[in-house]
Amino acid sequence: MDYRVEHDSMGQIKVPRSKYWGAQTQRSYENFNIGIEKIPTELIYAFAILKKSAAIANYQLGKLDKERFDLISKVCDEITAGSLNDHFPLVVWQTGSGTQFNMNINEVIANRGNEIAQKELLHPNDHCNMSQSSNDTFPTAMHIAAVISIEDNLLPSIDLLIKTFNRLMKENEGIIKIGRTHLQDAIPITFSQEISGWYSMVVKSREMLILTLSGLHELALGGTAVGTKLNAPPGFDVEAAKAVSQLTSKQFITAPNKFHALTSKDALVFAHGALKALAANLMKIANDIRWLSSGPRCGLGEIFIPENEPGSSIMPGKVNPTQCEAVTMVAVQVMANDVAVGISASQGNFELNVYMPVCIYNFLQSVRLLSDSIASFNNKCVTGIKANKEKMDENLNRSLMLVTCLNPHIGYENAAKTAKKAYQENISLKEACVELGFLTAEKFDKIFNPKQMT
C-alpha cells in the first residue's frame, strides 16, 4: 500500500495515501482493533451538518474567512451526499468522548478541502474544529442524528402501519369472534375491536415519541470542553443552532445549560424509552397476529396472512409467520439496547459523559431496526391480513365463556355449573342450562346473543 507521512502533536505516522484522514484517525484505527461495529453513517452525516453549521456561525461572527468557509461547506456537502463514506474507518469502541471520530471528520474536511483548493488552507484543529471541542460536538451530533432518524425514517414507517390498521378496522366491522385472556377463551369481541387495540398501541407509541423530541432538539454545541464556552465567540451557540435548523429543516435550539448538555444523556434515555415502548407494543401485536394465523389446520386459524416464502427445508408446503418473527427479534434487540443506553447515560462523571459512542450506536440501531422492520411488517404481512370468518364463527359458537351473558339471569354460580357441565359432557351451553333446569329453551334463546355481548 502506498503511504504518506502525516503528523500530530505526538509525532509522525504513516497514513494510506488514498485516504483523506490524518494522523489522529490513523492512531485510533491502529490502537482500537476491536469488533466490527463502525461509527454509524447517520452520525457521520450529522457531524457533517454540525461542521458546516459551525463554519456558518464562525463566518457570520467574523472568525472564519470566506474562502475557508466555502471549502468546509463544500466538503461537508460531499460527506452528507455519501461520496466520502470510505474515509471514516473508526470503530465504536474508542475513547468514550468520541474525540478520535471528531478528529477523523476534521481531518477529512481539511485534507479534502486542501485538495480542492490545491493549496494548504485548512487545518483540522484551527479551522475545521474552530469554536468547538469533541466534548460538545459529539453530543450535538448525537442529537442531530437521533432527531433526523426518528422524524425522517421511523415516523413515516409508523404512519404506514397506522394507516393499514385503520383500513383493516373498517374492512372488518361486524365480524364477531371470541376474545381471549390468559390464552383462554373469554367473551366475544368484534375483529375490528381487536384491530383497534393494535391501532391504538401504534398511535400511542407515536405520540410518546413525539413527546421525547423536544429534549433532543437541544444542542450542546458552543459549550466547548467543559461547558464554559471557552474559545467560542459570543453568540456562536445560537448562530450554530440556527444553521443546523436551516440545513435540516428542523427546529433545533442551543441548550440553555451547557454543563447539563455535555454530561447528561437523559434526553436520549427518555427517547429510547419510547422506542422500547414501541418495541413492546410491536412484540404484542406480532405475537397476536401469529397466534391468530396459527395452523393451518391445528392452530387457531382465525386469520390469513400472506405466504411469502417456504418455511421448512424438510417439511414440504410449510409456511411460517416470518415477518412476525423478524419484528419480534427486532423488539428483543431494542429492549436490550435500552439497557446499554441507560447504563451509558449513567456514566456522566463530572463535566463529561464518556460512553457516548456506545450510547448513540445502540440508539441509532434501535431506530434503524424499528424503521425497517415496521415497514417490512406492514408491507409484507399486515396489509394482507384477511379474516377467516368461518373459523371465527366456529370458535365463537364452541366457546363456553359465552355463558357469561347468563350471569344476570341465573347467577354466577349457576352459570359456572352450566359451563362445567357443557364441557364435561361435550354438549352445548343451551343443552346444559336446560338440563340443569336454570332456563327454558325459549328463555335461553332470548337471552343468548353473542352480538349483543360485544
Q: Could you tell me which of 413, 412, 432 has the C-alpha nearest to residue 422? A: 432
C-alpha to C-alpha distance for 151 and 148, rounded to whole angstroms = 5
Angle (CA) 438 441 443, round 5° = 75
CA distance 263 to 158: 32
Catalytic residue among 18, 214, 312, 346: 312
Q: Report how far residue 138's alpha carbon sits from residue 61's, in angstroms, rounded to the nearest whole number.
A: 22
Q: What's the number of CA atoms in the CB half-sphere (13 Å) around residue 308?
A: 17
Q: And the C-alpha cell for 67?
A: 474562502
Ramachandran class of 305: left when φ > 0, alpha when ψ lies in -120 to 50, beta otherwise: beta
**Active-site residue flag, 312:** yes
Which one, of 142, 176, 146, 376, lies nearest residue 264 by Cα?
A: 142
42 burial (CB, 10 Å; 0-12 / 13-18 / 19+) is buried
Return the closest-CA partner of residue 288 out of 277, 303, 276: 303
Contact 372, 426 (CB under 8 A): no
Cell output for 436: 340443569
Handedness of CA 365, 366, 367, 372 (dihedral sign): positive
DSSP string, 188-216: EEEHHHHHHHHHHHHHHHHHHHHHHHHHH
Q: Of residues 9, 182, 249, 313, which has the active-site annotation?
A: 182
Cα-Cα-Cα-Cα dihedral sign, residues 205, 206, 209, 210: negative
Altogether, the residues listed in the chain come to a count of: 454
Residue pair 190/174 in contact by the 8 Å Cβ criterion: yes
Quote the CA–CA distance of 164 and 146 in Å, as a whole number: 26
Catalytic residues: 182, 312
